[in-house]
Structure 1
Amino acid sequence: MIKVLLVEDDVRLADALAGALETSGFEVAQVRTAAGALEAAPVDVVLLDLGLPDMDGIELCARLRDRHDFGDTAIIMVTARGRQRERIRGLRSGADDYVVKPLAIEELCARMEAVLRRTRPRHDPAVRVGPLRLDLDARTVSGAEGPIELTRKEFDLLAVLVREEGAVVSREQLLLRVWRTTWPGTLRTLEVHVGTLRSKLGVPGLIETVRGVGYRIAAAGPADAAAPTAASGPVRTGRS
């Protein structure tokens, strides 16, 4: 799960933003001051307000950049200061992005994801889950019998569960991260997609239902499941 440090002295705004980010699947820690930010443990993303009571956010950004343990951390300034001069100062101080309030949570999430794609080291996109092989970049899946054809939403759903590495993902988080909505009427759509995905993957017990909460990927597939053969190749996913 992506860890976020929210540096914001407006308590009501910080609580509302933290709640929205947590609903979107992020782990959020909050501090109200620059001193609190400098004492915080390393995270994946810092969301930094500039108008802090004890230090200007631009100076804080530069000081965080000087810390060895924050060297790979993405820093996004989230502020009401929209003038071009302020934007330039912010980016030159070490920020990876600069967002002006007010903002939509969907845009902020998209900006965090984009920044992380640029700043995180490249990883092997191939993932083994039981007898399945997923390529998260190429959006392909193969199993013991060969390629598995998934729609776009089915792959997105599987990818979210796989990335959480066995942690439970609530139905609300899945709706938001795959369908970009939290409307309860979409729950039936989620259930149908889970059922279809289970059928296509053909690995009983791989996607577990956590009653009253959501779903998770089992720690391992069935013990007698065959691994994909060398001849099994992936297939690109279709559209839903």
Structure 2
Amino acid sequence: MTILIIEDEPKTGDYLMRGLAESGFAVRLARTGREGLAMAKEGAADLALVVLDVMLPGMDGWQVLAALRADQATEQVPVLFLTARDEVQDRVRGLELGADDYLVKPFAFVELVARIRTLLRRGPAREDDLIRIGDLEIDVLRRRVRRGATTIVLTSQEFALLHLLAQRQGQVLSRSIIASQVWDMNFDSDTNVIEVAVRRLRRKLDDPFPVKLIHTRRGMGYVCDLAPVPVPVPDAP
């Protein structure tokens, strides 16, 4: 299985190709968006993952990603954006268009390899288009949320938070995991951004309904489930 790099900056492209090859991957390199798209379609049967720059000549990364997702042969191939565009709206746009991960330049090569291996472990199938937990229904592709007959309007950040919790239903997610997955940042114990975001999500998702879905495990994190995860009781001495 092959990793396709689509990168127009010569030094970066050569560096990635050499480094990934030395890490044990089969690698191909395209210098333009159109060339990369053609190579992806021609080699779709053996394509494991695409590492894609955004700022490409002629056909940019956004257009390449849209074309990959619109083609049945490549719609399930994982795509990792690797770009100097570090604005939050760029990361959100990439993920909403169907990218599986987004890494900002400059980057640590070991982190890139770790992210690639994580994506490859997920296998070729993409996530379910519909997630259901009790009366909660999440339409992943259309980014729509309902509880019963009620449509719940969420911001992009609130949707990302709910999606993460729902994907891992029943698992307690620490604040550091949530921070890295939703905000792409290292956890800072002095900030309450996660608590504020969870509180806002609960106001929309839980407060109007008798059955609560988002539960707090004090000192551990948050979990999405129909019932709160029981706190373990220590064995008697």
TM-score scaled to structure 2, two decimals? 0.49
Greater relative contact order, per chain length (Cα 8 Å cut-off, separation 6+): 1
TM-score scaled to structure 1, two decimals? 0.48
